Amino acid sequence: MRVVLFDIDGTLLRSGGVGRIAMERALSQVFGSPGSREYHYDGKTDRQIVRDLMRLDGLTDEQIDERMDDLIQAYLSGLHEELATGKREVHVFVGVRELLDELEARDDVILGLLTGNVEPGARAKLGAAGIDISRFKINAFGSDHELRPELPGVAQQRAREHLGREIAGDRLIVIGDTPADIRCGEAIGARAIGVATGRYSTDDLASHGAYAVFETLADTAAVLERIVNA
Ligand SMILES: [Mg+2]
């Protein structure tokens, strides 16, 4: 049995900057500043983005934590609003739907998510892309932990509950577009597959220890082969 854990942004889909727009607006509303424009959101959890940006603006962790819940609520409201306008296209990357269909049809694979998005944000983005979140049975979200390296352990625990038995770390396969995705499962021995549909090249992702790398997920048979033989 293998659990295949997909990242969302840059891996399954690109949401046309909707997440960043909603986050900057929420930060402005709640903290009075949208945060540095140079900061990269990819590979981070939502709450980590808030903390990193507001620390850069000189806030203490206490000040950040006081308003974190309000911030996430404001972000989710903005995200829903922005997605509802339909002004920005949520683009599902080539091969993603086919790969999900193939994996879902197998009885030796369980589909899951491992994403920095808080759960309602993940649901909203996937919904806008026409991907039913209920297809993913074992999930770890940014709402489960602020630090991505903690998320594979969360997924492993949920896999144990789902299956009713232990599952070795190397039966978890993380698929993502950033070095943070590739490295997050190191502690439990998870395998990582990098896909260069985000900001990083296949060489970048390979240099962080990816078990396999692909330019895109278009070649369903090739990706599937690496997953089921991982
Ligand atoms: Mg990503």
Residue 208 has pLDDT above 90, yes or no: yes
pLDDT of residue 65: 98
What's the gap in Å between 117 CA and the centre of ligand 1?
10
Instruction: Render pLDDT for 51-102 as a digit per residue (tens, 0 to 9).
Output: 999 999 999 999 999 999 999 999 999 999 999 998 888 999 999 999 999 9
Tokens read off for 111: 């589909």
| φ and ψ of 136, to 5 deg | -95, 115
Token pair 């990706």 is at which residue? Answer: 223
The two beta strands, 13-14 and 91-92, are antiparallel
What's the gap in Å between 202 CA and the centre of ligand 1?
14
pLDDT of residue 192: 97
| φ and ψ of 217, to 5 deg | -100, 20
pLDDT of residue 86: 83
What's the gap in Å between 124 CA and the centre of ligand 1?
16
Residue 21 DSSP symbol: H
Instruction: Report the percent of the chain where pLDDT is more than 70.
Output: 100
pLDDT of residue 157: 98
Q: Which of 150, 167, 172 is nearest to 45 (CA)?
A: 150
Ion ligand 1: residues, Cβ under 5 Å: 7, 9-10, 177
Instruction: Render pLDDT for 23-60 as a digit per residue (tens, 0 to 9).
Output: 999 999 999 999 999 999 999 999 999 999 999 999 99
What's the gap in Å between 5 CA and the centre of ligand 1?
12
Residue 193 has pLDDT above 90, yes or no: yes
- Under the banding of pLDDT at 50, 70 and 90, the label for residue 16 is confident
pLDDT of residue 170: 95
Task: Say how far apart CA 149 and CA 145 lie, in whole Å.
Answer: 9
Mean of per-residue pLDDT scores for the chain: 97
What's the gap in Å between 199 CA and the centre of ligand 1?
9
What's the gap in Å between 12 CA and the centre of ligand 1?
8
Q: Which fold, 2-15+90-228?
A: Rossmann fold (3.40.50)
Q: Which of 201, 199, 202, 196 is nearest to 216 (CA)?
A: 196
- Under the banding of pLDDT at 50, 70 and 90, the label for residue 139 is very high
What's the gap in Å between 112 CA and the centre of ligand 1?
15
Tokens read off for 73: 């609520």
What's the gap in Å between 192 CA and the centre of ligand 1?
13
What's the gap in Å between 29 CA and the centre of ligand 1?
25
What's the gap in Å between 31 CA and the centre of ligand 1?
25
What's the gap in Å between 107 CA and the centre of ligand 1?
27
User: Are residues 111 and 100 in contact, defined by beta-carbon separation less than 8 angstroms?
Assistant: yes
Q: Which fold, 18-85?
A: DNA polymerase; domain 1 (1.10.150)
User: Are residues 80 and 124 in contact, defined by beta-carbon separation less than 8 angstroms?
Assistant: yes
What's the gap in Å between 71 CA and the centre of ligand 1?
21
What's the gap in Å between 10 CA and the centre of ligand 1?
4
pLDDT of residue 87: 85
pLDDT of residue 230: 79
User: Are residues 43 and 117 in contact, defined by beta-carbon separation less than 8 angstroms?
Assistant: no
Residue 120 has pLDDT above 90, yes or no: yes
Residue 210 has pLDDT above 90, yes or no: yes
What's the gap in Å between 217 CA and the centre of ligand 1?
14
What's the gap in Å between 58 CA and the centre of ligand 1?
27
Task: Say how far apart CA 144 and CA 135 lie, in whole Å.
Answer: 19
pLDDT of residue 88: 85
Global pTM reads 0.97
Task: Say how far apart CA 79 and CA 92 lie, in whole Å.
Answer: 18
R_g of the chain computed on alpha carbons: 17
Instruction: Report the percent of the chain where pLDDT is more than 90.
Output: 96
Token pair 């090249």 is at which residue? Answer: 201
What's the gap in Å between 215 CA and the centre of ligand 1?
14
Tokens read off for 201: 């090249």
Domain regions of the chain by residue span: 2-15+90-228, 18-85
pLDDT of residue 50: 98
